[in-house]
Amino acid sequence: MNNLKFNQEKPIDLIAIGRLAIDLNANEINRPMEETITFTKYVGGSPANIAIGTAVLGHKAGFIGRVADDQFGRFIVSYLEEKDIDTSSIVIDQSGAKTGLAFTEIKSPTDCSILMYRENAVDLKLEPKDIKEEYIKQAKAILISGTALAQSPSREAVFLALDFARKHDVVVFFDIDYRPYTWKSTDETSVYYNLAAEKCDVIIGTREEFDMMESLTNPGNDNDFVTAKKWFDYNAKIVVIKHGKEGSISYTKEGESFKGRSFPAKVVKTFGAGDSYASAFIYGLMEGWNVDQSMEFGGASASIVISRHSCSDAMPTAEEVKTYIEKCKKEEGQSV
C-alpha cells in the first residue's frame, strides 16, 4: 500500500504526454560512431518509452503528443498501436516540424553517447488545443516529461494538462527528464520546472536535476530531505531522488524514506535505464504496492533493459521482471 489514490473507475491507467521520437541505434557497437555503418530504427523518447514499458507490463496506456506527417510519424503511431496504446490523442502535425532523432553511440558498455537531432522538433509543437479535458478525465494518472516544458506551445499544453488533471483527481507523475540542449538557459528551465512540480503528486529526478530546479531559490543545497520537503507543501506525495550508482532515495509526504537497491546486469549500454525504472516503479505504485517494493521493481526492470540493445523494444513484461528479481535474490542468497 502507498499514499496515492487512483480512481479505479477510470478506463485508462496512464496517459503519457510529450515526446515521441526515433532512436537510431548503432548496429556495429563498441566503437566510435564514425565507424558505424548501419543503424536500426526504434521508437524513442522518454515518455514514449515509459508508456510502452507500462503497456508491456500490462497497464492500459494512452498518449498525448504530436508526430510529423511523414514516414517516421506513421511508424511511431503504428508501433504504439501494436503495443495496444491508445493513440487517439496523438495529433499529426502539419507545420513541417521534424521527428526528433537520437543516434546512439556505444563505444563501450559504460561509454555511451547520443547524437541528437532536435531542431524544430515536432514534439514541442504540442498545443493547448491538443489537450482534451474529456480525455485526461478518463485516466487514473498522467505522466509529464520535463522536456515538454522546454518550449512554447508545448509548455503551455503541459500546464493546461496539469490544470485538467488536478480538476479531475488524476494523479500526476513528473519525470524531470532534463535535457539542457532543448533549453535556452538554466534560469528559464528552473522557473518552469518549479511551476510544474508544484502541481505534481510524484516527482522523479536525479540529484543533478533537483540541483537545477533549486539553482535560483536554494542554490548549493545538497540535502535530499530539504529538496523533497519543499514539494510536500504543494501537492507532492512522493519524491524520488536518484543518485546514479549509489542508488535512489524516496521520501513520502508522511515522512517515510526508502532506499532503492540495484540489481546486477550484463550491461550493453546505459540508455533506457531511467525510462524502464520509471515505468516499472509507476506500475508498482498503481498496483497499490508499497513504495519500496515499487522501487525494487523499477530497479530490476532497469537492469533488464540495459542488458539489451534497444530501449522501447526491450521493455520487459511483469513476469520477466518478477522472475529476474527472484533469480537475483536467489543468487545473492547463494553468494552469502
List residues binding a copy of itself (CB under 8 A). Answer: 24, 27, 32-34, 36-41, 70-72, 74-75, 78, 98, 101, 103, 105, 115, 117, 119-120, 127-129, 152-153, 156, 159-160, 163, 167, 184-185, 187-188, 190-192, 194-195, 216-217
Please report how close the Cβ of residue 59 comes to a copy of itself at its closest, in angstroms.
27
Please report how close the Cβ of residue 163 comes to a copy of itself at its closest, in angstroms.
6
Please identify, using beta-carbon distances, which residue of 2 and 189 lies nearer to a copy of itself.
Answer: 189
Please identify, using beta-carbon distances, which residue of 184 and 322 lies nearer to a copy of itself.
Answer: 184
Q: What sign for the dihedral angle of Cα 119, 110, 313, 200?
A: negative
Please report how close the Cβ of residue 195 comes to a copy of itself at its closest, in angstroms.
6
Exposure pattern of 86-116 as b/e (b: 16+ CB <10 Å)? bbebbeebeeebbbbbbbbbbeebeebebee
C-alpha radius of gyration, the chain, whole number:
19
Please identify, using beta-carbon distances, which residue of 188 and 256 lies nearer to a copy of itself.
Answer: 188
- Among 98, 47, 106, 85, which residue's Cα sits nearest to residue 309? 106
Please report how close the Cβ of residue 99 comes to a copy of itself at its closest, in angstroms.
9
Please identify, using beta-carbon distances, which residue of 159 and 289 lies nearer to a copy of itself.
Answer: 159
Please report how close the Cβ of residue 155 comes to a copy of itself at its closest, in angstroms.
8
The H or E element spanning position 111 is strand 111-117
CB 271 within 8 A of CB 291: no
Grid coordinates standing for 183? 533549453
How distant, in Å, are the alpha carbons of 41, 53, 102, 335 from that of 118?
16, 23, 9, 46
Please identify, using beta-carbon distances, which residue of 170 and 291 lies nearer to a copy of itself.
Answer: 170
Looking up cell 524531470 gives: 176
Please report how close the Cβ of residue 207 comes to a copy of itself at its closest, in angstroms.
22
Please identify, using beta-carbon distances, which residue of 44 and 260 lies nearer to a copy of itself.
Answer: 44
Report which residue type is found at 166: R
